[in-house]
Amino acid sequence: MFDFGGMLSGALDAADNAVSSVLGGLSSAGSWMQSNPGAATLLGSALVAGGSYMENRETQKTQKRMRDDEWAREDRIRDENGVPQLTPIEYQVTPGLAGDGMTMGGSLTNGLLANIQKNKKGGN
């Protein structure tokens, strides 16, 4: 038959030893950090940087997955509906409005620029 009491006692002893080892390690690590504050700060900064990298990596993976899903939806819609046929936009410039009207006998040459020329001649 099994001796459950002995097995439980052995498991508890092993757990107690493990906890004691961890606490002893933490105690010695704390002592080391107190005696080496510069190295402890450097080590802490490296751990924070590593954690930030891991977090950003997961965020970037999520963003890439979302972008790929969006592109897949767009491709599926394009496959179902076809590619729309777009007509190019054509622009026409009518002579005599902005171009000719302002420079060839328009407001710039007869008005504003003419007054500037008169002021220059009159000031000399």
pLDDT range class, residue 4, cuts 50, 70, 90: low
Neighbours of 84 (CB within 10 A): 6
Averaged pLDDT score across all residues of the chain: 74
* Residue 112 confidence (pLDDT) above 90: no
pLDDT in tens, 41-85: 888 888 888 888 888 888 899 999 999 999 999 889 888 887 777
Instruction: Quote the pLDDT of residue 24.
Output: 72
* Global confidence as pTM: 0.33
Structure tokens that stand for 97 in this block: 């409005």
Cα dist from 119 to 5, 84, 108, 111, 124, whole Å: 113, 59, 15, 12, 9
